[in-house]
Amino acid sequence: MSLTERAGDNAWRHGSSTQGRTGLGLSGRAGFEDGVWWSPDSSKIAFLEMDESKVTRFPLVDFASFAGAVEEERYPIAGGNNPVVHVYVVSVNGGKAALMDTGSETNQYIPRVAWLRDSKRVAIERLNRLQTQLDLLIAGAETGKSSVVLTEKDLYWINVPMICIS
């Protein structure tokens, strides 16, 4: 099941865990393995939307193909543009997906997302581009309104921990 696809690889909403992908912009840096999360009561799905339209493209040659076919892969180079990432929540019964408020800054990472046990709130980790400040946000699944409940700062670098919500 794919939630939404638009504009090819430039902007897309993550599909199911078997069809979707998080892209090198997140998987390589944050250890992301999935971009879709079922609520504990199975009534909602949280998912990522990634706009990679401004991320650098690199040509990759498929040496296994007869003619050496070339594909383009987007990969954020050091100092270059990252994908713009948003977190949405949608009901399994359909309807409009709610955008979770992760702040106005788009040059950031969203390394972790997890549901709280009540299936009404989503925990979102937000990491600045320099990787020196990590915020834990709790967002209402229906409204998207969020608040920062914990901030970790380091002068040099933050090692992003696994989210543990129970």
- Whether the CB-CB separation of 52 and 131 falls below 8 Å is answered with no
pTM of the model: 0.77
Q: Does residue 7 surpass a pLDDT of 80?
A: no
Cα-to-chain-centroid distance, residue 90? 15
Structural domains of the chain ordered from first start: 4-153 (2.140.10.30)
Structure token pair of residue 166: 């129970």
Share of the chain above pLDDT 90, in %: 67
- With 0-12 / 13-18 / 19 or more C-beta atoms within 10 angstroms meaning exposed / middle / buried, residue 62 is exposed
Compute the C-alpha angle 82/24/33, nearest 5°: 120
Which has more pLDDT, 63 or 9? Answer: 63
- Whether the CB-CB separation of 163 and 127 falls below 8 Å is answered with no
Structure token pair of residue 47: 């998912």
